[in-house]
Each structure stands twice: as structure tokens, then as C-alpha cells.
Structure 1
Amino acid sequence: MQRAEVGNGQAATPPRQAAIWAIRIGSLLIPLAHAAGQNLVTVLGLRFMTDSLAISAGAAGAIFAFVKIYDGFADPAVGAWSDRARTRWGRRLPFLFAGGLAMPLGLALLFGAPSFGSILLAQLFVTLALVIHATGYTLLTIPGFAMLVESSADPKERTRLMGWRTYGTAIGTMLGSTLPTWLLSQTGPSRSGHLLVALIVSAVVFLATMAALHLLAHAPRTSPSASAQAARTNPLVGLWRQVQLAWRNVPFRILAIAHVFLLFGTAIGSAALAFYTRIGLAQQDSVLGTYFMLATVAMLVSMTGWIWLSNRLGKKACYIGALALFGLVHLSWLLAGPGEPMLLIALRGAASGLAGGGMILCAYSLLSDAVRYDYVTSGERREGAFAGFTTLFDKLSSAAALAAMGAFLSAMGYVPSASGMAAAQGADARLAVLLCVSVIPAGAMIAAIVTMLFYRLDGASVEAAERAQDLAA
């Protein structure tokens, strides 16, 4: 049975079994909500801007980069803010509630963008929509991850919670990628079709968040440490101190760098798939939806296996294996083309999901160990700040990926459209799309693997530090 914690880690009454299951299901629903909202934008956002709003690929990529950079630098601030917060609902729940409202609003505005008759006005409007959406994403992800870390002192229970979190991410991914693309294949890629799927996904985000708030209302909570409270008087100094302390955590630093490469590869690979299935494979959006559906099913089915393997081979070894598999899957698109058998596309989807499950589970489980190690060695409660820095690096890498992809497509002559369908593309533009879906993601995974070779922390080290802390107390 896990222990609950308050303040700086004092033991409290352990939660009942019913409360443990409420925490697990709540830990599933929060990532389900933000994964659904985020994947809709990641998979279809760039293509919607280029092929439905006639915004050039370069400008669309630059808008995404600007929003990601804004959002990335907001992450540590939100994390530190949630660490210092004192409300009757605890430190994290008010942020989750606000995120559950902002993210659906951003989705509806983006995919419901009106016809302004001006490309400049369209660019400004979608930028505002993406800022609102990204703010909601930050408010859901950072306090949600921090709440998960602080809800259990048991590393095995935290791994289970990461498994539930991964289940939620997988279901949310399917609701934000497979469902919309299947619906678009029925309605056609019109603006009204995009708005319909955005409203459906918005409802999923809102309802999942509200249900999670109810389930997590009585989860174990921690209070701000004395140093976090002192940071109230000077937020900028407090935030800069958190940056310095987080960067000195070597295991966290290595994981963050590896995560940058992972997110760069997955962001550009996912965005490119929406273009490649149309241009490279000459397939409809239903094929894209089936690919993501199979990836999600494989992710869910494989989760028990990844947990079993990580407990026996180690999280680091499983993480590296998952990264390698994901890179190989995307590299295999070099062998595909028009008329590609659906069986091979389906196998790629399943293998991608298998790899994705391992990457998500191991990455965040390793991160939870690094954040927990910081607490047991320092006595400071900085879960929100570490979650903020993690997503800062994530979003900077995603910003770089989408900006690079947009600039690359433009440089290679990609032609935008306002019809909802891709315009005829030249050989250079087609080659650019192929490289974005294959070589570039594979290269990013290799860089992440090389980075992880320098990672040394393991679960035994965290448990030993916890025992030493208990003995000292």
C-alpha cells in the first residue's frame, strides 16, 4: 500500500483501495483529454492551414513555431505557479479546470476559422486560436503530470500510474487522430467537416477533464515547500532558481535532451503522414485513420508487456529499444509508394503503436524517477517546475520540427490550396514530404538513443535515496 504525503513529505493516512482506483482512472482521463486535443492539431492542423486556408507551408510552420515557443516558455511559469498555489481545491485542480475550458475553445476557433478574404487576417486568427489551444494544453499537462508524481511514494505504483497515463494517451491519440480522419473521409475535407470533428473532439476534452477533476478531488496532495512560498515575493527570481536547480539534476537533464529528439521526430513524422498518405501513397484520409487506429490498439495491447519488460530488463533498455523500433518503422516508408498494399500500411501502424507505447511509458516513468530523486535528495517539492521544464523542451523541439518542416516544404516548392484538397505537387515537393516522413524521424530517434547511453539513474538508486531519507528522519 502506498503512503500519502502532505507538506514536505510527512506520512499521512494511506488512501483506500477505492481512492487508488479513482487516482488511476483520473490519471488516465487527463492525458486522454490533452492527447485528443493535441493530436487533432498535430495531425491535421498544418495540412488544414495549407490546403484549406491557403496559408503557405512556410508561414504555417512559422505560426506553429511561434505558438510552441510561447507555450514552451509559459510551461515553467505554470509549473512553478502550480507548485506555489494554495487553494481550497489544492495546488493542481484549478489549473486542470482552466485547461479543460481553454483547449476546446482553441480547437473550435482554429478549425472554425471564417473566410476573411485576407491571408494576413487568417494567419492572425489561427495564431490566436493556437495560442488559446496551447495554453489549455499547458494547463492540463503540467499540473496533471505533477499531480501524478506526488500522488504516490511507491515507485512501482508510479510505474502503474504511468501505465494508466499511457493508456489515456493512447485512447486520446485515437480520438484525436483516427476518429477525425475517418469522419473527414465521410464528410469530405471541407471547412464544415473540419469544424464538425473539432467540436466532437472539444466535447471529449471537456468531458474527460471534468470527470478527472471529480475522481482526483480526494487524491493525496502536497503543500508548497518553504522555498516555494518564499518565491511568491519575487516570482522571476524563484523561477530562475528553479531553472538552475532542475538543470543541475543530471538524470533529468539527459532525459530532457533525449525527449527533445523524440518529440522532434514524432512531431514531424505525424504531421508529414497527413501529407504523405495523400501525396505519396495516393490514399484517402480513411487510410490515415486506420493507420492511427492500429497504432493506438497496438499501444494499448502492448502496455502490459512493456511494464513487464521494464521491470525485468530496465526502463532504459526498453526505452532505447522502443526508440529504435519507431525509427525503423518510419525509415521503411522509403520503400513505399502509390499502390502500397494495405497490409503493409497496417503493419507499419501496429509497429509504430508498439514502439510508441514503450516510448511514452518508459520516458515518463524515467522522468518520474528523476523528479522523485530530486525530492528525496533535496527535500524540495518541485514536481510542477520539473514538469514545466519537460514540456518546455518538448515544445521547443516540436516548434523546431514544424517550423523546419514548413520551411523545407516551401523551399522545395509545396503549393498551398484553399479547396481542402492538395494541389498538384512537383517532384521536389514530393521528395520533401517523403524525407519528412522517413529519414528525418529516424535520424531524431538515433540522436535520442545516443543521448540515453549517458543515462545512469535507476529505480534502485531512487529507492536507496528514499530509505536514507527515512532513516535520517
Structure 2
Amino acid sequence: MSDYSINNKIKATSAEKSLPLTVCMGWGVGSLGMAIMYALVSTFALSFMVNHLSIAAGFAGLLIGLTKIYDGFTDPLMGIISDKTHTRIGRRRPYLLLGAILLSLSMFLMFNVPDSIAKNSPAIYMCFVLLLYATGYTVFNVPYLAMTAEMTNGYHERARLMSFRVYGIAAAGFIGLAVGPMLMDRFGGGREGFEIMALVMAITVLTSSVLCFHFTKNAPFKNHVASTRYTVKDQIRLAIENTPFLWLMLSKLFGLLGSALSAPAKAFFFPLVLGASLTSFGYYWIAFYAAMMVSQPFWLQQAKRFSKRDIFIFGLLLTVVVNLTWLLASPEEPYLITLIRGAALGFLGGGTLLMGQSMLPDTMEYDFRTTGLRREGIYAGFYTTIEKFAYAIGPAITGAALATMGYISSNDGIQTEQPESAILAIYICAAGLPSLTGILGALCLTRYNLTEKILRNIK
């Protein structure tokens, strides 16, 4: 493609137009179902397998890790498929429906394990369900994320659009990690509690995904279907050559790894270190996600004053400071301190999530402006691959740490008295390692240099 044609396309789309509110809200609600699944699986899958199915902690973590690796390999493939799809309802939207069906089914099956299977072959069953979940997540999430760069070419409008995704994720936190544990407590806290919770969440996941499909039908997509075939080698080359994307992905890898370590660790930390109930665990997440929601106007305003990169770095480093305070937590600590800690992490997380999410379509736009090709699916596929890779390593490390340091598994959900070494492992995975990964993520971001001015000046 000639430079002339590339420049003409850029000039024709350079005006930053606001997306209709219904489109933004409709797209944002799609993150609700994904984030519910993501939060519940990340937080409870490991502890459910260890404490309710008698699967050893190390093996359970390895099982989650292996299924995530499978998921990572399918993400770039899904990106290519959606890039080359052409239907009357769009190139991405058909996959929202298919992914919704697979995800809601996997949500129900994951925590509804038949008694005969729970006694004889729980690991095989959980492997199958985790693979089903991984497939559904890929089918939905890769096309879903690729939609952002096609819906608007505005630098600040992308941040506005992504704020609706953050609202969706925060609402999912309320539903999944606040209402979910309360439902479990209400129905006994054992496997029956998990079963009722899973049914309610499966219906919620399906409903939100269908709503996303419906309300994005009038979105102003730029359907430039790429005609080039990309091998895995080509995709890796594209990612490396797009240096802003490369450094963003490295920073996201470390940031997500911190979350992947701390989320499952907190399911052990609250009952064993703080002596808190599932309902109290839910109150923590209410504080976390309420703060994330109310933080969005603040962070959007800051994005107009400072670079997205600098805000991202600032948020990561402050998060490290707050995370380190978990090392001081104990059963004697007033629970109000825990709630304040959760609110602080939620407020900061709202900023880092918004900046990271809005920087992704910026790097896609950078690719378009330098090549003239729309390859959002490939980049979305790489992004979700990084996400899956982090969530493959995180639970595996947490499970291995618990197993190595003497954690005692159970099959009845009753908390067994744990040795001090196991408690130390929980502290390390909940606070120490996430702080280290946050610092590494901030260091990677210092190499990211894509700004609004640079994007506009590309000819």
C-alpha cells in the first residue's frame, strides 16, 4: 500500500468523534461476564480443588497452569480468525455469542462436580472444565478486545471507551467476589454453596454477553479486512517490531502475574491469616470495586493532564507500597484496616487498569498508521496470550509454594490447622511476590514512549 493511500485513510479518520453512550455501555457490559468468570476462577478454582476435591495444592496449581498454556496458544489463532471473518453482523460480533455459551456452561460445571466424579476422578473432570473455560474465554475475549481500535481512532476517546470496560469489571467484582461469597455462606459454605453460586453466575455471564452482542450492532466499525496470511513467526515479528506494544506487553505480564499470584493466595489468606468468613471476604471486594468505580472520573481527568504511561507507572508503584502492608496483617488487626487497604488497592487498580487497557488500542492505531493495515485481532490475541501466560504461572507458583511449605489439603471444606511454614507461603504469595512484579512492570513501562503527539505526527 502506498504512503499516499495510507495518509489519506488517516486523514479521513483523524477527527476524534464521541461514541454514542449506548454503544459504550453496550460494549462495556461485555466485560461484566468475562470479569465474573475471570475473578471467580482466579480466586476460587485453586482453593476449591484443594479444600473440596482433595487435589494436592501443587498438582491443582499445575493443572490450572497447563490449561492456561493451552489457552495462550489458541489466542493468536483466534485473532487471525476474527481478522479474516466477514459476516453481515460484523467480523467480531458472532464470536461474542459462541463464547458466551461456552463460558456460562463452564461456569456451571466447574463448581457443580457430581459426587461420583469428586470421589474417583476429580482432576480429570476439572481439567476438562478448565479447558472448556479457556476455549470460551478466548473465543469471546480476543474479538471483544479487538473491537476497540475499530470503534474509534481518537486517543482520548479510547480512554473514555475503556472506562466503561473498567466499570464493567468493577461491577463484575461486586457480583462475583462480593455477592458470590455471600451466596456461598448463605448456603452453607461447602460444595452446595459453590453450586448455587455457580448457577447464578452462569446466568449472569450469559445475559451480559448477549446484551453486549445486541448493543454493539450499531457501533461504527472500520472493517478493513486484512488479506495477508500470518504465520506464528510473522506474528512474533510484528509484536517485536511494534516497540510500544512490546514494552506494554512486558509491563502487563508482570502486572498480571502479580494479580495471578495474589488472587488465589487471598482465598487462603483471609480465612487462615485474618480468620475472616466468606462474607467478610465479600465486604473486602465491595470496598475494592466501589473504589475502582468511583475512581474513573479522576483517572480520566488525569489522562488529559499527564501521559497514560506516567499515570500507569505512578499507580503501579503506589500499589506496591499498599501491597507490602499485607505483611503486617494479622487476626488482631481491626477489619476496618483491611477494608481501607482494599479501597486503596481498588482506587489505584482503577487507574492502572484504565491506562493499560486504553494504551492497547493506541498501539494498534500505531500499527495502522505505520502500515495502513487493520490487524487488531493479532494484537488482541497477543494481549490475551500474555494474560493467560501470567495466569498459568501465578497459580502454579502459588500451588507449588503451598505444597512445598507443607499446606494440608482437605475434601470437606473445613479449614485444617496449618503449619507456620504454610502460613509464610501465603504471606509471600499474597504480598511479597506481587510487590516484586509491580516494580518490574513499572521498569518496563519506562521504555514505552508512545504519546498522542507521536501518533498524530506519524506520516
Which TM bucket (shorter chain)?
A: over 0.9
**Equivalent residue letter for 2:151:** S
Summarize the Cα distance change of 1:16–1:435 in structure 2 as closer, same or farther, 3 Å threshold.
Answer: closer
**What are the equivalent positions in structure 2 for 1:102-251 lying under 5 Å apart?**
102-116=102-116, 121-225=121-225, 228-231=226-229, 237-251=230-244
Offset at residue 315 of structure 1 (A): 0.8
Task: Indicate how the Cα distance of structure 1 residues 397 and 16 shifts in structure 2: closer, same or farther if over 3 A, else same.
Answer: closer
In structure 1, the gaps of 5 or more residues are 1-7, 232-236, 469-473
Q: Alignment partner for residue 457 of structure 2, among 437, 444, 464?
A: 464
- Letter of the 1:259 partner, please give it: K
Letter in 1 for 2:215: L
**Correspondence for 1:28:** 28
Q: 1:374 aligns with which of 367, 377, 382?
A: 367
Conservation of the 8 A alpha-carbon contact between 1:80 and 1:239: no
> Residue by residue, what CA displacement relative to the aligned partner does 1:390-420 show, whole Å, maximum 9, x if unpaired?
1111111111111111111100011111111
Correspondences of 1:276-291 after superposition (within 5 Å): 276-291=269-284
**Aligned-residue CA RMSD in angstroms?**
2.1
Find the aligned partners of 1:116 and 1:268 in 2 and give their Cα distance: 31
For the Cα contact (< 8 Å) 1:31–1:168, is it kept in 2?
Answer: yes
The letter for the 1-side match of 2:263 is S
Q: C-alpha offsets along residues 292-339 of structure 1, whole Å, 9 cap, x if unaligned? A: 111000000011101111211211111011111222222101111112
The alpha-carbon deviation at position 154 of structure 1 amounts to 1.5
Match of 2:306 in 1: 313
Aligned to 1:4: none
1:90 and 1:326 map into 2 onto residues whose CA distance is 39
- Rounded to whole Å, the distance in 2 between the matches of 1:414 and 1:210 is 41
Cα displacement string for residues 358-378 of structure 1 (whole angstroms, at most 9, x for unaligned residues): 111011111221111111111
Residue of structure 1 equivalent to 2:74: 74
Give the structure-1-normalised TM-score: 0.92
| Counterpart contact for 1:36–1:172, Cα < 8 Å | yes
Equivalent residue, structure 2, for 1:385: 378
Q: Is the 8 A contact 1:189 1:421 kept in 2?
A: no
Instruction: Establish whether residue 325 from structure 1 lines up as the match of residue 323 from structure 2.
Output: no
Per-residue CA deviations over 1:162-200 (Å, capped at 9, x if unaligned) read: 111111111112212111112122222211110111111
Change beyond 3 A, Cα 1:354–1:410: same
Quick one: structure 1 residues 62 and 288, their matched pair in 2 at CA, closer, same or farther if it must change by over 3 Å? Answer: same
- Paired residue for 2:404, among 411, 422, 437? 411
> Counterparts of 1:325 and 1:189 in 2: how far apart (Å)?
35
| 1:353 matched to 2:346 | yes
Q: How does 1:8-87 map to 2 (within 5 A)?
A: 11=12, 20-87=20-87
Match of 1:302 among 295, 298, 304: 295
Q: Match of 2:377, as an amino acid? A: G
Q: Is the 8 A contact 2:145 2:380 kept in 1?
A: yes
**Identity among equivalent pairs (%):** 33
Q: Report the CA distance between 1:120 and its aligned residue.
A: 6.5
Supply the AA of the counterpart residue of 2:64: F
Q: Is 2:424 aligned against 1:431?
A: yes
Deviation at 1:219, TM superposition (A): 1.2
Amino acid at match of 1:318: I
1:53-84 Cα shifts (integer Å, max 9, x gaps)? 11111111011001110111111110111011
Alignment match, 1:398: 391
* Other-structure match for 2:268: 275
The aligned counterpart of 2:5 is: none
8 Å contact from structure 1 (residues 30, 140) kept in 2? no
1:252 and 2:256 aligned: no
1: distance between equivalents of 2:324 and 2:455? Answer: 36
1:246-292 deviation line (CA, Å, top 9, x unaligned): 22100000000000000000111111111000100111111111111
Deviation >4 Å, runs of 4+: 8-12, 14-17, 117-120
**Native 8 Å contact 1:177 1:289 kept in 2:** yes
Cα distance in structure 1, aligned partners of 2:292 and 2:216: 25
Conserved in 1, the CA contact under 8 Å of 2:287 and 2:343?
yes
- SS of corresponding position for 2:20: helix
* 251-260 vs 35-44, greater mean Cα deviation: 35-44
Distance (Å, rounded) in 2 between the aligned partners of 1:248 and 1:39: 33
Q: Using the TM superposition, name which of 47-56 and 169-178 deviates more.
A: 169-178
Shift of residue 436, structure 1, vs aligned partner: 0.8
In structure 2, the CA distance between the partners of 1:356 and 1:259, relative to structure 1 (3 Å rule), is: same
By how many angstroms is 1:26 displaced?
1.6
One-letter identity of the residue aligned with 2:324: L
Q: Which 5+ residue runs of structure 2 have no aligned equivalent?
A: 1-8
- 1: CA distance, partners of 2:385 / 2:120: 28
CA distance in 2, matches of 1:277, 1:118: 26
SS of the equivalent of 1:116 reads: helix
Aligned residue pairs: how many? 453
- Residues 162 and 364 in structure 1, CA contact (< 8 A), matched pair in contact too: yes
Distance 2:210 2:127 in 1: 27
Contact 1:242 1:385 in 2 (8 A): yes
TM-score (normalizing by structure 2): 0.95
Matched residue type, 1:129: V
Q: Give yes or no for contact 1:269–1:330 (8 Å, CA) kept in 2.
A: no
* Alpha-carbon distance between aligned partners in 2 of 1:175 and 1:149, rounded to the nearest angstrom: 28
The code of the aligned residue for 2:101 comes to L
* 1:339 maps to amino acid: E
Aligned partners of 1:29 and 1:208 also within 8 Å: yes
